Structure 1
Amino acid sequence: MSTSAAILKELETLSRQLTVQFKRYVKLITCEMALEYCRRCVAIAADGLGEKRPLSEIAGNITCQMMEMMGHSHWYCVFGKRYGSSITHEKGYYMFFEIDQFTVMVFRHTEDCEKSEV
């Protein structure tokens, strides 16, 4: 099995686990971060949707948690039903997933970071 096929299989397996865990449809499309961070982003999204929080608040919570967990700033989260995007991000700091009918993109952008944070 090729590396990309193995990664896709791992994302599919984790997607199924998260769907069962949170009782919501979850599909990990791309995850360049450690899986623990991916799980945390999905957990925050699932909790926020369960509490019927505004999408902007859920996105803000994901951003704050990533800053806290990773120890540096300049994280961004886009959370919605329909949007187009074209972004640049730091390698290893990007996640794109679906939860229920929403699509979520989480990333860190290096150009915004101070040299001490890189």
Structure 2
Amino acid sequence: MAKVLRFLVIVIVFAGAAGGIYAWVGSRGTDENGNVLVEAEIGSITEKALAVGQIEPRERFQVKSKISGIVARCFVEVGDTVQAGDPLFEIAPDPTPQELLNVSHRVHSSEASFMKAKADYERG
């Protein structure tokens, strides 16, 4: 019986030692809250992320001109910050149909005046 008791004590001591070593090795890299502890070292950190989606602006604005025409110059670029009243574009106005008709009449009148002056010149 003494041999059995002695054997059980040895097994219990070895089991306790094995459990203690296992617990010690498992807890070496963590603190009391379970956070992993690592030793600090000097080096570069490179993290890359791939994101798929769309970038949406916080606010959207529509800019409309009071006159029709062609944009002659643009004073700002996409993403620039502007204040109320800042000029954004210079617009070269399109002529109205009435303006085109007036200019066409002036051209015909000038051509007629030129032809008359040329004829008067040639007559001498």
- Greater fraction of residues in helix: 1
Could you say which structure has the greater relative contact order, defined with CA pairs below 8 angstroms and 6 or more residues apart? Answer: 1
Larger radius of gyration: 2
Please, what TM-score do these two structures have when normalized by structure 2? 0.19
Query: More strand per residue: 1 or 2?
Result: 1
